[in-house]
Amino acid sequence: MNILMLCNKSPYPPSEGGPMAMNSIVNGLLEAGHKVKILAVNSEKYHIKDKDIPQDYKEKTGIELVNLDLSIKPIEAFKNLFSDKSYHVERFISEDFRKKLIEILKKDRYDIVQLEMIYMAPYIETIRANSNALIVLRAHNVEHLIWDRIAKKTNFLPRKWYLNHLVRTLREYELNAINKVDGIAAITYRDAAFFRGETSVPVIDIPFGVNPEEFTPNYEVNEKPTLYHIGSMNWMPNVEGIRWFLKNVWDKLQAREPEIKLNLAGRHMPKWLMNLKKQNVNVLGEVPDAKEFISKNDIAIVPLLSGSGIRIKIIESMAMGKTVITTMIGAEGIQYSEYNNIIIADNPTKIIETICRIIKDPAEIQRIGRNARKLIEDIYDNKKIIDRLLIFYDEISKTKKDITYINH
């Protein structure tokens, strides 16, 4: 198959959630013997220089980047209040991107055009006009649900009103766009269930996958077990979760376990966090090797209060054989078994009690870590996931051919 991927940011380097999820599909398809071409948005917020992309990756994917200004412009944002259009989506509409897309579609024949996230949906009409390729939406999240959760947690009325406007327009766009594609590959089974309730378009869950052999599990537990969090801190749910944890959990936990340590790592660490002065909280910012960072620590803390999709860093921590403590929202989309391969704790009291108990039981930390690793091998092995995606491509292709035959 020949697959064109339209991406809202470059899959390379795979240094945060979205690019990592895209890159796992790119590599999986290439390893399965298929051709992949990438056309991606290059914004100031996630700007990639040509020299940052290895030559062999360029040759394998023919990756092309189109510069696009995604910065929020106050005047345009204000005008949008009086519009039914989604400001989230409108920022991704670019004549330069459209022209490059037409050029690519005219140059080669594609079997599949895969839209990575709903923000690439404005180009559906352009694809239809210039190609007979099937269009598959890879939904990393149900986007409007992320913003709906944030809006519901907002108390400042003007901001709440504005967020509700963004939610309404994004929801209308999202639910309309999903009916214009030929298939939807949701990143979680929960998101897949949501889409099935909103459209008759074929839907499958295609989670983020890893190659287990690339993750060497470390089941050894430090003499004094350490907590850690790793994740991109320009994603609002991560910032919200860590702020909540530090405010509502950390001081009480420290009072009971004065020697416990928390190590925080991730790109785009905000200034308030880099300047944080809390006992035994080490804010490292971006680390050179995420796997090494995870390996040296013991218990992952993922206190998410909002968001949708799958938590890639949870999958990676599990692949490294680590115990993960997260919320129900954090574990959404992961086929977990509570206390077997993950621990769910939704309030400060349960989080504190869980941590205080488990740090005194290294064997329990190891047991959960080993079971977490087995879950990854059984369900989140990228080779198995790519096999399912390819079967889905074939099924929707056959369905479309059958419909075309009937109509003729």
Give residue-wise pLDDT tens across range 265-321.
998 999 999 999 999 999 999 999 999 999 999 999 999 998 766 788 899 999 999
Mean pLDDT across the stretch 186-200? 94
Q: Residue 370 is part of which domain span?
A: 213-379
Q: Greater confidence, 79 or 26? A: 26
The residue assigned the tokens 């941590």 is 355
pLDDT of residue 19: 93
Is 16's pLDDT higher than 90?
no
Residues 258 and 315 reside in one and the same domain: yes
Total number of domains in the chain: 2
273 lies in the same domain as 334: yes
How much is the mean pLDDT over the chain?
A: 94
The pLDDT value given to residue 309: 65
Q: What is the pLDDT of residue 294?
A: 97
Residues 25 and 171 in one domain: yes
CA pair distance 242, 41, nearest whole angstrom = 29
**Res. 402 pLDDT band, cuts 50 70 90:** low
Instruction: State the amino acid at position 258 in one-letter form.
Output: P
On whether both 255 and 314 belong to a single domain, the answer is yes
Say what the pLDDT of residue 74 is: 85
Q: Is the pLDDT of residue 407 over 60?
A: no
* Residue indicated by tokens 């509700």: 164
Could you tell me if 278 and 159 lie in one domain? Answer: no
* pLDDT for position 149: 85
pLDDT in tens, 341-388: 999 999 999 999 999 999 999 999 999 999 999 999 999 999 999 999
What is the C-alpha separation between 284 and 231, in angstroms, rounded?
12
Residue 21, pLDDT score = 93
138: Cβ contacts below 8 Å, ≥ 6 apart = 22, 25, 114, 115, 116, 117, 185, 187, 206
pTM score above 0.95:
no
- Do 146 and 234 sit in the same domain of this protein? no
Q: Is the pLDDT of residue 61 over 60?
A: yes
161 and 223 in a single domain? The answer is no
250 shares a domain with 274:
yes
pLDDT band at 68 (very low <50, low <70, confident <90, very high): very high
φ, ψ at 96 (rounded to 5°): -60, -40
Cα 291 from Cα 319, distance rounded (Å): 10
pLDDT for residue 403: 60
Residues 395, 359 share a domain: no
Q: Same domain, yes or no, for 288 and 399?
A: no
